[in-house]
Amino acid sequence: MLTQSKRINIAGVEVSPDHYIGGKRVSSASTFQVISPIDESVMGEVAAGGQAEIDLAVQAAKEAFPAWAALGPSGRAPYLKKLADVIEAHLEELAIVETTNNGSLLEASRLRVMKRGAMNIRFFAEWAETLKGESWEANGVQYSVHYDPSGVSGLITPWNAPFMLSTWKVGPALAAGNTVVIKPPEWAPFTCSLLADFAEEAGLPAGVLNVVQGIGEDAGAALTAHPDVTRISFTGSEETGKIIGKAAADRIVPVSLELGGKSPLIVFADCDFAAALRTALGQYDNAGQVCLAGTRILVEESIAKDFIEGMKTGAKELVLGDPRKPETHVGPLITREHLERVQGFVERARAAGAEVAYGGGVSSALGGLYFEPTLFINVPEDAEILQREVFGPVLTLQTFKTEEEAIALANHTDYGLAATIFTGDEERANRVGAAVTAGTVWVNTFFARDLSAPFGGAKNSGIGREGGNWSFEFFCDVKTLAKRSGSFQ
């Protein structure tokens, strides 16, 4: 099992298809294919881990934990800052590998997404160095709060932004003093494999960061059920989140779940119309495969006709095509299986009586996994397309007359990850922002993220918050030390 497989060449970048366990590349007896969504070609065979590989990785992480935890924040920070430096030195390779692997736009990866990976690592390393628990005195007792590393963290990441979202979890977990086992997405594992290379280049001690590839039902299930895993952080589907939640509950293990959304984008008549329209069209980013996307557009009735016409005009200008080309706005869906899922939603919406304003199917010119940007209007109130996460380039548009109706429509879903509001009235923004159920509410902007702010979802969008102190409250055992004042010689 300790043999090393030949590396796979992806657009000129050599990537290991093997796991990374205890500082070594480890193969498996079985493998699985990884397909590029750009042309549905086989990128390579990747080691498929299961219980045995997870056991090895967790053991390696467990053995590395005491020394890593003992370094303290200031001792761990140089390793993590070096890791951020290494990531920054390889942004181009990361961008082309991720785009080839999951079909995301290359320009976006180059300019923003991969840089966020380095920023995530560096931010949490620096935050941990300044993290001071509260202290106070009450009734003659001195109280202080301490953040103790908890042990081995199991991190399961999604395919739509695998590298950036891996570092979002790895950064605080390692900065907190935990060691980690990452289970990358089987549809897009390659940039997580590169992350292991970068950890080795940065000099992280063996066993501090481990990567086990595999199918969720095998590697993922083994990781979340492992008795030596003390924290589980998962980003993905609601269905898988429920399974992970049950596994964590069986062992009373803290779990952080970010499970997607069906977010509203609320447009009032007094808004900056051009900005709201531009933001609405921007929801087709990454072919709609974005958990935060405002897929339910809610427009005040008095401007709805103009807004729909603006969406139609803007959609015609969106270039659907090869994500490696700079002129492309919308790339492919991730797999044939996912394409069929999106098609199913669209077909059922049509059957329920929803009207297609534009789009509605696979591109006749491109074929493959390229699905047209689609907008549904006149959708029946309780149609599935308004309730379930499609995770494709499919939006709905509903109208409202009053602020109260807008709030009711916004909250008419089982999800609560995010919401976006466009209005020129600050008091209205405050009222609606307070009334909408969501983990994050943006006003006259979209996707503004400061890493010190809490992030997570309400209702079926998940459990827990990460970011800033919230990440350390999750990944650490928060301890209170109470000392009787004046009791020491």
pLDDT tens sequence across 316-328: 999 999 999 999 9
pLDDT at 489: 72
Distance (Å, whole) CA 223 – CA 431: 43
Spatial contact of 443 and 421, defined as CB atoms under 8 Å apart: yes
Spatial contact of 385 and 349, defined as CB atoms under 8 Å apart: yes
pLDDT at 2: 55
Read off the pLDDT band of 486 (50, 70, 90). Answer: confident
Read off the pLDDT band of 47 (50, 70, 90). Answer: very high
Spatial contact of 214 and 187, defined as CB atoms under 8 Å apart: no
- Catalytic residue chosen out of the listed positions 192, 271, 291, 476: 291
User: Considering only CA atoms, which of 392, 248, 375, 402 is closest in space to residue 315?
Assistant: 375
At residue 183, does pLDDT exceed 60?
A: yes
User: Considering only CA atoms, which of 451, 455, 476 is closest in space to residue 464?
Assistant: 455
Residue 336, classed as helix, strand or coil, is helix
Segment holding 247, helix H or strand E: helix 238-251
pLDDT digits (tens, 9 = 90+) for 83-97: 999 999 999 999 999
Q: Please name the residues in contact with 436: beta carbons below 8 A apart, sequence gap of 6 or more.
A: 264, 266, 407, 410, 411, 419, 421
271 is catalytic: no
Q: Tell me, what amino acid is at 94?
A: L
pLDDT at 38: 98
Structure tokens at 447: 């996707």
Read off the pLDDT band of 218 (50, 70, 90). Answer: very high
Q: Which residue has the tokens 């706005």?
A: 329
CA distances from 405 to 5, 266, 279, 300, 425 (A): 59, 11, 22, 10, 17
Q: Please name the residues in contact with 372: beta carbons below 8 A apart, sequence gap of 6 or more.
A: 320, 358, 359, 360, 361, 362, 363, 393
Spatial contact of 463 and 255, defined as CB atoms under 8 Å apart: yes
- The alpha-helical segments, DSSP class H, found in 103-189 are 106-108, 114-130, 162-175
Distance (Å, whole) CA 410 – CA 267: 11
Residue 93, classed as helix, strand or coil, is helix
pLDDT at 333: 98
Distance (Å, whole) CA 76 – CA 71: 6
- The pTM (predicted TM-score) of the whole model is 0.96
Structure tokens at 274: 């051009």
**Domains in the chain with CATH codes:** 8-259 (3.40.605.10), 264-443 (3.40.309.10)
Distance (Å, whole) CA 111 – CA 193: 21
Distance (Å, whole) CA 483 – CA 22: 40
User: Considering only CA atoms, which of 212, 151, 221, 207 is closest in space to residue 183?
Assistant: 212
CA distances from 275 to 307, 310, 425, 472 (A): 11, 12, 15, 36
User: Considering only CA atoms, which of 382, 419, 412, 376 is closest in space to residue 395?
Assistant: 376
Percent of the chain with pLDDT over 70: 99
Bridge partners for 346 per DSSP? none
Residue 450 CB-density burial (10 A; 0-12 exposed, 13-18 middle, 19+ buried): exposed
Percent of the chain with pLDDT over 90: 97
* Torsion of the alpha carbons at 75, 79, 84 and 87, rounded to the nearest 10: -170
pLDDT digits (tens, 9 = 90+) for 196-217: 999 999 999 999 999 999 999 9
Q: Tell me, what amino acid is at 33?
A: Q
Spatial contact of 76 and 84, defined as CB atoms under 8 Å apart: no
Spatial contact of 171 and 117, defined as CB atoms under 8 Å apart: no
pLDDT digits (tens, 9 = 90+) for 225-237: 999 999 999 999 9
> Up-side HSE of residue 370: CA atoms within 13 Å toward CB?
18
Residue 372, classed as helix, strand or coil, is coil
* Torsion of the alpha carbons at 315, 321, 323 and 328, rounded to the nearest 10: -40
- Catalytic residue chosen out of the listed positions 107, 238, 258, 372: 258
